Structure 1
Amino acid sequence: MGVRKERAARTEVALKEAARQLFVERGYLNTKITDITAVAGRSAGSFYEHFSSKENLLQALLADMHGQAGEAMADGAMPGAGEEPGDGTEHPREHDLTDRAQMRAHLAVAWRVMRANLPVVVALYESAITRGVRSDALWEQLVQDTAVLREHLEYLRDRGHRLPGEPVLVAAAMGALLSTLAYALLPSNEAGFSDEEVVGTLTELLLAGVRGESPEAGDPS
Structure 2
Amino acid sequence: MPNSTPPRARRTRRGVRTSGALVGAARRVFERDGYLEARIVDIAAEAGVATGSFYTHFSGKEEVFEAVLAELQDEMLHPGAGGTGADGAEADASADPAALRRGVEAANRAYLESYRRNAALMAALEQAAAVDRRFLAVRLRRSQVFVERSARTVVRLQQAGLADPALDPDVTARAINAMVSRTAYMTFVAGDPVPFEELVRTLTRLWMNALGMPRAPE
Fold conserved (TM > 0.5)?
yes
Alpha-carbon distance in structure 1 between the residues aligned to 2:62 and 2:94: 33
Q: Do 2:108 and 2:204's aligned partners in 1 also have CA atoms closer than 8 Å?
A: yes
1:28 alignment partner, SS class: helix
Question: Which residue does 2:18 correspond to in 1?
Answer: 11
Q: Larger % of helix: which?
A: 2
Deviation track 1:140-177 (CA, whole Å, cap 9, x = no partner) reads 44213544323323433455643674333333333333
Question: Which residue does 1:200 correspond to in 2?
Answer: 201
User: Shift of residue 201 of structure 1?
Assistant: 1.4
Question: Which residue does 1:81 correspond to in 2?
Answer: 91
User: Shift of residue 64 of structure 1?
Assistant: 2.0
Structure 1 stretches of 5 or more lacking a match?
83-93
Question: Which residue does 2:113 correspond to in 1?
Answer: 112
Within a 5 Å distance, the mapping from 1:1-221 to structure 2 comes to 5-69=12-76, 73=80, 78=88, 81=91, 99-131=100-132, 138-157=139-158, 159=160, 161-162=163-164, 165-187=167-189, 189=191, 191=193, 193-211=194-212, 221=218
User: Shift of residue 36 of structure 1?
Assistant: 1.6
User: Shift of residue 200 of structure 1?
Assistant: 1.2
User: Shift of residue 190 of structure 1?
Assistant: 6.0
CA RMSD of aligned residues (A): 3.7
Indicate how the Cα distance of structure 1 residues 203 and 18 shifts in structure 2: closer, same or farther if over 3 A, else same: same
User: Shift of residue 100 of structure 1?
Assistant: 0.9
1:26 alignment partner, SS class: helix
Structure 2 stretches of 5 or more lacking a match?
1-10, 82-86
User: Shift of residue 207 of structure 1?
Assistant: 1.5
Alpha-carbon distance in structure 1 between the residues aligned to 2:159 and 2:56: 46
TM-score by length of 2: 0.69
2:34 alignment partner, SS class: coil
1:124 alignment partner, SS class: helix
What count of residue pairs does the alignment treat as equivalent?
Answer: 198
What letter corresponds to residue 212 of structure 2 in structure 1? R
Alpha-carbon distance in structure 1 between the residues aligned to 2:176 and 2:167: 12
Identity value in percent: 29
Alpha-carbon distance in structure 2 between the residues aligned to 1:150 and 1:68: 21
User: Shift of residue 195 of structure 1?
Assistant: 2.2
